[in-house]
């Protein structure tokens, strides 16, 4: 199994995919940290959180403080983490745009910000413009750090967790056939999800992307090392009839050489007709042109439910890191 190193200096840091499976991570920076037993424990807690939210929340974490430090815009992830902490009874410290509204505008480094914020809070959620930014934060942090997206081509592991939870709530994860579509070279959600899917037996992944925007070799190498089946495709039409899950992600039109090409990667009413009747359509959102609004009313479209599931998964994760 992979020997990916993660925040090794921390006393509780997870030793990924080792015999310490049962141990919880101190930080969550990359999907590779999460073993199947940890995922199942997290999903069990997430189911419990669905019940907690249904009764309005809990006060169990009323003495705990979450800090959100986002250097890039976010609607879903920041609101979701802040709502998660509040539903747990905790409190939130936040800055809307950390790069502009913190001392980093005066060139303070993320490491110094994290050291300071960690002395005011119990857990920090970071979105950073550089791949590796969250890992840098974790290496100096006194409290758990959660990566809420780092750079272009980094990771977004909690998005992948809620993606996987949404699939898990619908069907078994073993033997799934999944199309991951979009500008995959920079897609941090797609990258994190690929690592998670790779943990389950007989999963097959189709990466569907313009060739120049295909998944990077680091993920493909990981899949090869772990014996995970995958194919690289350049047309949604070639896979859409056979997949159980369509994981659509953003394609910025300016990144495609020929705008006509976009039709090979977009989901619309004509693509819907070709999909399995029980397929699942996911998208981390926000969307651009790759997911037509006419898809929203199709019962297979789960992306709003997927975003809602983020609350349960992030509540579960916070409890796992704080307990």
Interacting residues with ligand CP (CB under 6 A): 74-77, 149, 156, 159, 284-285
Backbone angles phi, psi at 189, to 5 degrees: -70, -40
Smallest distance from ligand CP to CB 282, Å: 11
**Identity of the residue, 25 or 284, whose beta carbon is nearer to ligand CP in the bound complex:** 284
User: Minimum Å distance from CB 26 to ligand CP?
Assistant: 23
Quote the least distance from Cβ 73 to ligand CP, whole Å.
7
Q: Which residue lies nearer to ligand CP by CB, 45 or 283? A: 283
Q: Closest CB to ligand CP among 204 and 250?
A: 250
Q: Which is nearer to ligand CP, 76 or 276 (CB)?
A: 76
Identify which of residues 139 and 192 has a Cβ nearer to ligand CP in the complex. Answer: 192
3-state helix/strand/coil string of 249-277: CCCCHHHCCCHHHHHHCCECHHHHHHCCC
Count CB-CB contacts under 10 A for residue 269.
10
Residue number, 46 or 77, with CB nearest to ligand CP: 77
How far apart (Å, rounded) are the C-alpha atoms in residues 226 and 247?
21
Structure tokens given for 260: 């006509």
Phi–psi pair at 199, nearest 5 degrees:
-85, -5
Nearest approach in angstroms of CB 316 to ligand CP is: 18
Maximum distance among all alpha carbons in the chain?
A: 55
d(C-alpha 64, C-alpha 139), whole Å: 22
Q: Which is nearer to ligand CP, 78 or 204 (CB)?
A: 78
Please state the closest distance from residue 123 (CB atom) to ligand CP, in A.
Answer: 17
Please, what is the minimum distance in Å from the beta carbon of residue 74 to ligand CP?
3
User: Which of 215-253 are b and which e, b meaning 16 or more Cβ less than 10 Å from the residue's Cβ?
Assistant: beeebbebbeeeebebeebbebeebbeebbbbbbbbbee
CA proximity to 295, closest of 323, 266, 252? 266
| Nearest residue (CB) to ligand CP, 32 versus 68 | 68
Instruction: Give dist(CA 160, CA 291) in Å, integer.
Output: 19
Nearer to ligand CP, 13 or 165 (CB): 165
Structure tokens of 100?
């502009």
To the nearest whole angstrom, how small is the minimum distance from the Cβ of residue 31 to ligand CP?
14
Query: At closest approach, how far in Å is the CB of 28 from ligand CP?
Result: 15
Measured from the CB of residue 194, what is the shortest distance to ligand CP in angstroms?
A: 16
Q: For residues 217 and 222, what is the distance between their CA atoms, to the nearest angstrom? A: 8
| Both tokens assigned to 98 | 């950390």
Q: Could you tell me where the beta strands, DSSP code E, fall in 151-286? A: 177-181, 204-208, 229-233, 245-248, 280-282
């Amino acid at each position: 199994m992979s020997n990916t190193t993660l925040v090794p200096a921390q006393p509780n840091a997870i030793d990924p995919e080792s015999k310490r499976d049962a141990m919880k991570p101190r930080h969550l920076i990359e999907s590779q940290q999460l073993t199947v037993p940890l995922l199942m424990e997290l999903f069990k807690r997430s189911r419990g959180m669905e019940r907690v939210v249904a009764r309005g929340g809990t006060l169990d974490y009323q003495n705990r403080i979450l800090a959100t430090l986002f250097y890039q815009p976010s609607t879903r992830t920041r609101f979701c983490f802040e709502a998660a902490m509040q539903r747990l009874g905790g409190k939130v410290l936040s800055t809307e745009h950390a790069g502009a509204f913190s001392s980093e505008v005066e060139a303070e480094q993320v490491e110094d910000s994290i050291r300071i914020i960690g002395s005011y809070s119990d857990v920090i959620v970071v979105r950073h413009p550089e791949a590796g930014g969250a890992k840098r934060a974790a290496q100096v942090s006194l409290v758990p750090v959660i990566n809420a997206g780092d750079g272009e081509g980094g990771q977004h592991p909690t998005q992948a967790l809620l993606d996987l939870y949404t699939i898990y709530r619908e069907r078994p994860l073993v033997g799934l056939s999944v199309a991951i579509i979009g500008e995959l070279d920079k897609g941090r959600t797609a990258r994190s999800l690929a690592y998670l899917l790779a943990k389950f037996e007989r999963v097959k992944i189709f990466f569907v992307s313009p060739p120049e925007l295909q998944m990077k070799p680091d993920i493909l190498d990981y899949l090869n090392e772990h014996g995970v089946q995958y194919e690289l495709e350049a047309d949604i039409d070639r896979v859409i009839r056979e997949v159980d899950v369509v994981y659509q992600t953003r394609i910025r039109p300016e990144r495609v050489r020929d705008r006509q090409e976009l039709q090979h990667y977009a989901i619309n009413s004509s693509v819907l007709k070709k999909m399995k009747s029980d397929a699942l359509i996911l998208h981390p959102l926000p969307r651009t042109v790759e997911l037509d609004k006419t898809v929203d009313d199709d019962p297979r479209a789960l992306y709003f439910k997927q975003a809602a599931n983020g609350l349960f998964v992030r509540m579960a994760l916070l409890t796992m890191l704080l307990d």
